[in-house]
Structure 1
């Protein structure tokens, strides 16, 4: 597997993009604003979108993607998500008011887009690549994703906060090589992090005590105005784990 980071920030502007990652050439993990930097040729190759949750910074470019390439595709774009997330997409985005319902365009027999439900712990296998939804704890129903090539694995938390079931799964992945985990706020905004069910360094440092695997750790969802401060606060508490800041266009091969 080859995973390319298209966006990993908590906002936009100045070259920052919200969460999106391209797995090989045909799978998106979330579809934030970074998807907009792909060429038309690259967009046409995307067959699947795996969505962690329904918040706009993770789904913003699904409507533009299907609108751009739908009429040029022979098969529908498949969006994989929890039933609650799919319901939110249908009710609030693809509702003929905000955007057309592409599950019915040009018709229900051969639509431009198809929605498929995920469940935590149940793997989807695509050409030998295993994608498994991971437990998550956010303000809306959400998942992370475990990407397993057979040789090695990468785990992505999505948006989350303290959650023992996540670590119970992670610690059982024998071939885990990479962990991408969020910290959306610095410690100065710990109260906001708690209310919005995100991590800040103080919360994240406590969570890392549950990690029993030797993995490379990358921090995502950093807010531009406090990213450096947030990373300093994380490093001060877990310098032995050597966490690194996830970067735009960073590539993982596993």
Structure 2
């Protein structure tokens, strides 16, 4: 599987954008950034969207994505998320006031542009040919991390979280089928108190949770670092003995 990074920061500055990832050209994982770092053709190829939680840096790209795919003649794009997150998008973003409700607007193929797919916790479901399990993690609003697989090849996406247990336990059940982990991390170690309050990892707490994988050795990538702390966090990660963690780079495609 291949994943293209549209945005991988926990903030927004020139050349640094909020979280957004396209898996195999068709599944968007979080929607903090879409239009700013993908072409019209790439956006038209997205068939489904998986949203971890309702914070703006993970849903803020949806309005302009919707506008850009009006000319599609393809099927409706499904937005899969928890009922809490879907309700937040309906009430506060695509609400007919801040931006149109694109479940009520047709594309050029006479299909609704968006539809919503509520996702239940700890149940495997199918979306666009992928097997996915949503697992609650430890953030300031209800948030899912995801296990995403195809042909016995799985990735783990933590969503925004601080120290948490269940998603690591579920990942271990996959055994060697787990090939890659995408873990959030936001602050350096000296801002652990802020990270705890806001529901995020620092290098030390992520390192402790990575130990929960036991003997599994997937590739580890990190995202969501606050831009102003990027160099410091990268240095702290590099200083952890025996740990190979790679910060993602925007606009780059990875084989996972």
Alpha carbons of structure 1 residues 127 and 112: separation in structure 2 relative to 1, 3 Å: closer
* Paired position in structure 2 for 1:171: 172
After TM superposition, the structure 1 stretch with the greater mean CA deviation from structure 2, 82-91 or 3-12, is 3-12
One of 210, 217, 228 as aligned partner of 1:214 = 217
1:229 positional shift: 0.9
SS at match of 1:66: helix
* Paired position in structure 1 for 2:226: 223
Output the CA distance in 2 between the equivalents of 1:189 and 1:211: 25
SS at match of 1:241: coil
Partners of 2:238 and 2:245 within 8 A in 1: yes
* Paired position in structure 2 for 1:195: 197
Q: Equivalent residues in 2 for 1:63-212 (5 A)?
A: 63-106=63-106, 110-126=111-127, 128-174=129-175, 175-212=177-214
Output the CA distance in 2 between the equivalents of 1:131 and 1:245: 24
1:81 positional shift: 0.4
Gaps of 5+ in 2: none
* Paired position in structure 1 for 2:13: 13
**TM-score (normalizing by structure 2):** 0.91
SS at match of 2:236: helix
Partners of 1:70 and 1:77 within 8 A in 2: no
Output the CA distance in 1 between the equivalents of 2:91 and 2:129: 33
Partners of 1:71 and 1:112 within 8 A in 2: no
**TM-score (normalizing by structure 1):** 0.92
Gaps of 5+ in 1: none
1:34 positional shift: 4.5
Output the CA distance in 1 between the equivalents of 2:94 and 2:152: 38
1:74 positional shift: 3.8
Partners of 1:3 and 1:23 within 8 A in 2: yes
Output the CA distance in 1 between the equivalents of 2:222 and 2:106: 41
Output the CA distance in 2 between the equivalents of 1:244 and 1:253: 13
Output the CA distance in 2 between the equivalents of 1:140 and 1:172: 26
Alpha carbons of structure 1 residues 35 and 147: separation in structure 2 relative to 1, 3 Å: farther
Alpha carbons of structure 1 residues 34 and 105: separation in structure 2 relative to 1, 3 Å: closer
* Paired position in structure 1 for 2:254: 252
Cα displacement string for residues 132-164 of structure 1 (whole angstroms, at most 9, x for unaligned residues): 223311111111121212242111101111111
Output the CA distance in 1 between the equivalents of 2:167 and 2:142: 14
1:110 positional shift: 4.5
1:43 positional shift: 1.2
1:126 positional shift: 4.0
SS at match of 2:6: strand
Q: What is the root-mean-square deviation of aligned Cα atoms in Å?
A: 1.9
Alpha carbons of structure 1 residues 224 and 116: separation in structure 2 relative to 1, 3 Å: same
